[in-house]
């Protein structure tokens, strides 16, 4: 069985293959009929124990564009509220014939548990687990970066060597930041994290990136600046930063954006909190790729599902379970 649990599962060749395949998938979206027959007869379950707009909808769109059957499961309104466990929920879905389970869960490690427990025989794709990882977000971000900084055609077969990416904000609670640091480093980019000292994870010294506390000093040396949401839902209320203080030091406004090189882009994985980490002026500017990232997410997730379930290309060498 092949799974995608962590961005660390991907070698450079794997990651470039996903990005190249995503580029091919994006061409499907330009056609009058936006469908490929590749996964006809396969069933993909979207198993969401935590809220999502972009990831859930784009996995659904990606699976449908590959002609798979899609079952959407949301923990809200399900028997999870009656105390049903992850194991029993997963067994129920597998009994309905799932070939792949796309899982989002508030507990870090839940997708790994599902992939390696022996409970089910399906391919598992991590759609975001707690504060741990969000590997398909990192892939769609890398795809967006390669298109913008290297070029749509010029980027084929290439990584992001020497491109300077700054990730700003609540790194402590961000699975997006962790997956991006791992994947962007694999692809040759130079990553800098900028965060308040209270929102930097313990052990960050071992991450393959630099850490700075001075956003204004880093902006002129950035080819892309990725803003993160402050995840209040994962914080003790006593530690909430005030909007005014946070945005003054770590928010991106028009004045700050002007310090970036002319071609540099602003990224945001969404959901954005306008006025906190990003002003409306920046979010709505043509340098901000947030909406483009959502569109690219469908292509990147089509590539992942295709390579894991149906592709004839060499495998994505992801985590393998023991044969049951």
Which residue of 28, 29, 36, 54 would you call a contact of ligand CP, by CB under 6 A?
54
169 binds ligand CP (CB under 6 A): no
Give the rounded distance of the alpha carbon of 239 from its chain centre.
26
Number of residues near ligand CP (by CB under 6 A): 9
CB 140 within 8 Å of CB 197: no
Tokens representing 272 are 């954005």
**134 counts as catalytic:** yes
The interaxial angle of helices 54-65 and 135-149, nearest 10 deg, is: 80
**The binder of ligand CP chosen from 46, 89, 123, 137 (CB under 6 A):** 137
Per annotation, catalytic residue among 105, 132, 134, 146: 134
Contact 303, 21 (CB under 8 A): yes
Residue from 12, 13, 35, 53 touching ligand CP (CB under 6 A): that is 53
Please say if 82 is a catalytic residue.
Answer: yes
Scanning 51-59, 144-152, 216-224, 245-253 for contacts with ligand CP by CB under 6 A, the matching segment is 51-59
User: Tokens representing 29?
Assistant: 């979206």
Q: Shortest CA distance to 56 belongs to which of 104, 119, 24?
A: 104
**φ and ψ at 122, to 5 degrees?**
-85, 160
Q: Phi, psi at residue 117, to the nearest 5°?
A: -80, -20
Residue list, annotated binding site for L-aspartate: 82, 175, 229
User: Would you say 1 or 111 has its CB closer to ligand CP?
Assistant: 111
Q: Confirm or reject binding of residue 78 to ligand CP (CB under 6 A).
A: no
Owner of token pair 């427990």:
117
- What is the C-alpha separation between 232 and 241, in angstroms, rounded? 9
Name the segment binding ligand CP (CB under 6 A); options: 46-54, 115-123, 184-192, 281-289.
46-54
Q: Which two tokens stand for residue 285?
A: 């500017």
Q: Which residues pair with 224 in a beta bridge?
A: 165, 265
- By the rule CB under 6 A, 43 interacts with ligand CP: no
Q: Which one of 1, 56, 104, 113 is the catalytic residue?
A: 104
Rule CB under 6 A: choose which of 55, 89, 186, 222 binds ligand CP: 55
Supply the minimum distance, in Å, between the C-beta of residue 167 and ligand CP: 14
Least Cβ distance, residue 53 to ligand CP (angstroms): 4
Nearer to ligand CP, 187 or 272 (CB): 272
Q: Which helix (H) or strand (E) holds 129?
A: strand 123-129
Q: How many other C-beta atoms lie within 10 A of the C-beta of residue 310?
A: 17
**With respect to ligand CP, which residue has the nearer C-beta, 106 or 311?**
106
Backbone φ and ψ for 227, nearest 5 degrees, come out as -90, 140
**Least distance CB 267 / ligand CP (angstroms):** 11
Which residues share a beta bridge with 44?
70, 100
- Least CB distance to ligand CP at residue 107 (A): 16
310 binds ligand CP (CB under 6 A): no
- Residue-wise DSSP of 59-102: HHHHHHHTT-EEEEEESTTSGGGGT--HHHHHHHHHHTT-SEEE
Site string for ligand CP, 209-248 (x = CB under 6 A): ----------------------------------------
Binding-site residue numbers are 54-55, 82, 104, 134, 137, 175, 229, 270-271
Q: Which stretch binds ligand CP (CB under 6 A): 3-11, 14-22, 32-40, 53-61?
A: 53-61
105: annotated active-site residue:
no
Name the residue among 281, 253, 265, 299 with its Cα closest to residue 19.
Answer: 299
Q: Which residues bind ligand CP (CB under 6 A)?
A: 52-55, 128, 137, 269-271
What residues are labeled active site? Answer: 54-55, 82, 104, 134
């Amino acid at each position: 069985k092949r799974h995608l649990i962590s961005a660390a599962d991907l070698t450079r060749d794997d990651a470039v293959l996903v990005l190249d395949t995503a580029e091919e998938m994006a061409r499907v979206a330009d056609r009058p009929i936006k469908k490929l027959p590749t996964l006809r007869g396969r069933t993909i379950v979207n198993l969401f124990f935590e809220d999502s707009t972009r990831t859930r909808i784009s996995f659904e769109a990606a699976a449908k564009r590959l002609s798979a059957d899609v079952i959407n499961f949301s923990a809200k309104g399900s028997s999870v509220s009656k105390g049903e466990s992850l194991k029993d929920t997963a067994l129920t879905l597998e009994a309905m014939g799932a070939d792949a389970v796309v899982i989002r869960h508030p507990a870090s490690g839940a997708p790994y548990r599902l992939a390696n427990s022996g409970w089910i025989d399906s391919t598992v794709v991590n759609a975001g687990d707690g504060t741990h990882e969000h590997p398909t977000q990192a892939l769609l971000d890398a795809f967006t970066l390669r298109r913008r900084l290297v070029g749509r055609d010029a980027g084929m077969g290439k990584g992001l060597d020497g491109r300077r990416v700054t990730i700003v904000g609540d790194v402590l609670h961000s699975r997006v930041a962790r997956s991006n640091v791992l994947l962007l480093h694999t692809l040759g980019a130079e990553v800098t994290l900028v965060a308040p000292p209270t929102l930097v994870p313990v052990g960050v010294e071992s991450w393959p990136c630099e850490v700075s506390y001075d956003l204004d000093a880093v902006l002129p040396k950035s080819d892309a600046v990725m803003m993160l949401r402050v995840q209040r839902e994962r914080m003790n209320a006593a530690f909430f930063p005030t909007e005014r203080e946070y945005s003054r030091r770590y928010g991106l406004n028009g004045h700050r954006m002007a310090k970036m090189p002319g071609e540099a882009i602003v990224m945001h994985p969404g959901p954005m909190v306008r006025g906190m980490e990003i002003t409306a002026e920046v979010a709505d500017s043509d340098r901000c790729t947030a909406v483009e990232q959502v569109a690219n997410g469908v292509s990147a997730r089509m590539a992942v599902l295709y390579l894991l379930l149906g592709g004839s290309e060499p495998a994505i060498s992801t985590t393998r379970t023991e044969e049951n």
